[in-house]
Amino acid sequence: MSQNFTTRELDVRTGSRETVHDLTRECASFLRDVAHGRDGLLNVFAPHATMGVAILETGAGSDDDLLAALRDLLPADDRWRHKHGTPGHGRDHVLPAFVPPHATLPVVGGELALGTWQSVCLVDTNISNANRKVRLSFLG
């Protein structure tokens, strides 16, 4: 198999609220442009210190459940040593230890090989930075 590497940077606006932002369509569009029916790997990387990438079901409450669990685990209060930004912003810098800023996913026949209810999502609890970048890379 010939190995080809292609990458693209996306601009994503996540808003001014904690959010789970579905990137599945953008990933599929990127693969339509570059995979050309090949098998390979898609890497999704968020080059930010306060954001993660998760694979989960969306639209049925799991995205809200994840945000609620993160609020319980990482409350936005004054306990954090990292103090700049909005109150509790230090917890945003801890988030990537729990929701890593990357995911590598299989691509089969040029299409993302996700499970039935799986979506590729950004998890962003940083309400002070709505303009984000995401790097998609295909190796196949």
**Is 2's pLDDT higher than 90?**
no
Two structure tokens written together for 16: 């001014």
| Domain extents in the chain | 5-139
| Fold of the CATH domain 5-139 | Jelly Rolls (2.60.120)
Give the tens place of pLDDT for each residue, 67-101. Answer: 999 999 999 999 999 888 888 899 999 999 999 99
Cα–Cα nearest to 25, from 6, 7, 12, 41: 12
Structural element, H or E, at residue 98: helix 90-98
Give the tens place of pLDDT for each residue, 26-72. Answer: 999 999 999 999 999 999 999 999 999 999 999 899 999 999 999 99
> Could you tell me if 22 and 121 are in contact, meaning their C-beta atoms sit under 8 angstroms apart?
yes
DSSP state of 130: -
The model scores a pTM over 0.75: yes
**Is 1's pLDDT higher than 50?**
no
Q: What gap in Å lies between CA 19 and CA 123, rounded to an integer?
A: 6
